[in-house]
A and B are shown apart, each in its own frame.
Chain A
Amino acid sequence: MLFNSFEFLIFLPIVFMVYWFVFQKHLKAQNAFLLLASYVFYGWWDYRFLGLIALSSIVDYSCGLKIGQQYQTKGKKQFYLGLSLAVNLGLLGFFKYFNFFIESTTEMINAFGFQANPYSLKLILPVGISFYTFQTMSYTIDVFRGKLKPSKDMVAFFAYVSFFPQLVAGPIERATQLLPQFHRQRVFKYSEGMDGMRQILWGLFKKMVIADNCAVYVDQVFADPAGQSGSNLLVGALFFSFQIYGDFSGYSDIAIGTARLFGFKLMRNFAYPYFSRDVAEFWRRWHISLSTWFRDYVYIPLGGSKNGRRKTIANVFIIFLVSGLWHGANWTFVFWGGLNAIYFLPLLLGKKHRVHLDIVAQGKTCPSLKELGQMLFTFSLVTLTWVLFRSSDIQEAWVYLQGLWSPDLFSKPQLDIRIYLFLGLIVCFVLIEWRGRESEFAIQKMALFRPAIVRYGFYYSLVMMIFLFATKEQEFIYFQF
């Protein structure tokens, strides 16, 4: 089920009503109902893959219990941790990377002059597998590290793994943060509910107005980069930057807002990344739940930046390449990760990666010229990496990047006249985000203390924009990861 679908419009109020009005006083019943709702939500897409979530949940629940037992030896605990990791990574590896590795190996063998026949399986990638496997792995690792006591409440644990607002595309929650919320009585707060609704509204706007409409032109340009003028390619790359941001941060806003309606607090996933002044700041603000996951469970265990220059460089490359590969089984993602590592390394080695920890131009209406320049430069670097991310293969990305520097870069784009309208919409969107950058999400406090007519007029405008600009239901980009 998609957040931007008619089914979800029916599903959410029903689940909300039953959750608060029928099961309000029974925590276990609430959890059981959430579990059921989550499985219905996921099964709406393909019920056959519910078995994978259940398998991942049962393995981690059992391993967690075993690891948490006092009398277990360290070796036994390591065994159960290994089992949990093997099952989750095995599922991920099989469904996501099997064909990629087989095809890449075949190509490599053929490149050396040997003859190997291409072989691949027709596998469907289960939606959300990269997200829920990472979430459950964080649980067993944290139990192993002694940061968390294992959950004995099976229903609560299963509901934690499959919690529908963030099941298919995150935020990738830490067990230490989310699981205890399933063990606590939850109380409905009107203000939280309204805040959640506002966040859902803003998320839908980002997805349905910004992302989906940018997608129309992005698809057109990326379908044939060789046949496009430099200015078309520039518009395509620019629009894709806003498409992927609107799509993914929009999804996260809807997820966090929906969780709020049920009394849960999910972690923030985006913090206005396009207002970053350098690439290190960008990576602290983009897909925060994944970046911090890799930092805590891969980068730091590898030694981080504490074991000399060479090891640091290697670790940074590992983290970015793995992060690239996490997005999909394609060399474009690996190169995308590599390019980001190249951007990031000079800052890290020069110890300048933690210069910008505050909010840009905090308390001010406008940024300084220097800040504006830094933001534009960072945005341009990031936009170049998105070309790799969006291209279907390396050759296509190369053609695209070459075409971008052609003399007709400053010519009038040969695209539908509506691009000027959407450029206008993007400018409005950026201005709203800029004004709201000190809040958790842009419209959280916007017009909140104004007269009701202004406040509701603002919400009305957003609702009407969503109605007018919504295209046919489009999947979220991150569903494919």
Chain B
Amino acid sequence: MTKCLVFACFPVVSALGVLYLEDGNADAFGMRFTTGKKTSLIIGNSRAAQGLIPEEIVKQLPKGDELGLYNYAFAVGYSSYGPVYYQSIKDKVEARTKNGLFIVTVDPWSLVVESEAHEDTIILPEQPTPLADVNNQSYKPNLSYMLNWFEPSYYEIIHRVLRPANERLHRDSGWLELVLPMDSSTVNYRISEKVRQFEEGLHGVRFSNSRLEYLDKTIKYLKNHGQVFLVYLPAHPQIMKYDQMIMPNFNKSMKKLAENNRILYKDYSNQAGEFVYTDGIHLYQSSGRLLSADLGSWINDNIIHK
């Protein structure tokens, strides 16, 4: 019996050791649940996850390092505005924070539901995700995430230690870095693939009032903890036209939302052609750095220093 118990200890300890090795290389989101509560957040979908680099933003702000800005944006299927993301943000924000910085990014795709979905059922797409299931913790490994939501096999952790992935989540800042070949033919192919997907997916979705209400609710909640800035992140011009098709009056609607909440709105859509994208949707990291720095400087001009 003693032998069996001793034997059982070895695999358990080794397994925990393997899980500990994961540092954002093998899974795009897991590390976000190991960093505990935060005082300043970037929220939104994958445009923000890949495009906004916290360290570039805070460089532009006096005492920016003290803000502890953290990228808590995921992807459309995970973090569209709705009850699940709202609860998860509440769980992530340090309750005592009063002077945090919150960059709320938006685009029409974060406000849509499936065409056939009833307004009451908008929680469904995000329900089976870690955002709905996993609590934020300040230690790693987060066993709840690693056991239930870690997608690949655990071997991938070791594989990625030896051969780093082209997608890496920076645990400290939450930025999802992608290193991809950027030769024009590859990029054009990826953009054409995305255009095809958007063309096919366009008729399957529609704007949702409930999501807009949750965006409003999220802003109001975050305002209790600091200053909120609303930002419309750009995409490749070929993709931007689908943004227009989904919600032709998107900008107007966001401006109104910002006015109602007395926050500032920054629209990057008219500068869409100035940036480089990996696949038409996501900013390439050099452009991400430029845009982040620009955003940081705009925030610095408008932030109310307390």
Contact = CB atoms under 8 A, between A and B. Distances in A.
Interface residues of B, number: 15
Of B3, B10, B152, B155, the most chain A CB neighbours within 10 A belong to B155
B10 A469 contact: no
A353 B151 CA distance: 47
B154 A468 contact: yes
A471 interface: yes
Contacts of B151: 472
Of B7, B151, B153, B159, the most chain A CB neighbours within 10 A belong to B153
A472 B15 CA distance: 17
Per DSSP, are chain A's interface residues mostly helix, strand or loop, or mixed? Answer: helix
Contacts of B154: 467-470
Interface string A468-479: 111110000000
Contact of B153 (A459, A463, A468): A468
A413 to B, nearest CB: 18
B18 A468 contact: yes
Per DSSP, are chain B's interface residues mostly helix, strand or loop, or mixed? Answer: helix
Given A463-B11, A464-B11, A470 B3 contact: no
Interface string B15-41: 100100000000000000000000000
Interface in B146-161: 147, 151-155, 158-159
B14 interface: yes
B156 to A, nearest CB: 9
B175 to A, nearest CB: 26
Contacts of B159: 418
Interface in B136-173: 147, 151-155, 158-159
B206 to A, nearest CB: 28
A251 B151 CA distance: 24
Interface string A441-470: 000000000001000100110011001111
A460 B10 contact: yes
A200 to B, nearest CB: 14
Contacts of B153: 213, 468-471
Q: How large is the interface on A (under 10, 10 to 19, 20 to 34, 35 or more residues)?
A: 10 to 19
Contacts of A469: 153-155
Given A468-B158, A470-B153, A470-B154, A452 B15 contact: no
Contacts of B147: 6
Of A213, A460, A468, A469, the most chain B CB neighbours within 10 A belong to A468
Contacts of B18: 467-468
B15 A456 contact: no
Nearest to A466: B11
Nearest to B155: A468
A422 to B, nearest CB: 10
Contacts of B11: 460, 463-464, 467
A477 to B, nearest CB: 19
B7 A460 contact: yes
Top 3 nearest A-B pairs (CB, nearest first) are: A468-B155, A463-B11, A468-B154
Given A213-B153, A468-B158, 15 more contacts: A452-B3, A456-B7, A459-B7, A460-B7, A460-B10, A463-B11, A464-B11, A464-B14, A467-B154, A468-B153, A468-B155, A469-B155, A470-B153, A471-B152, A472-B151
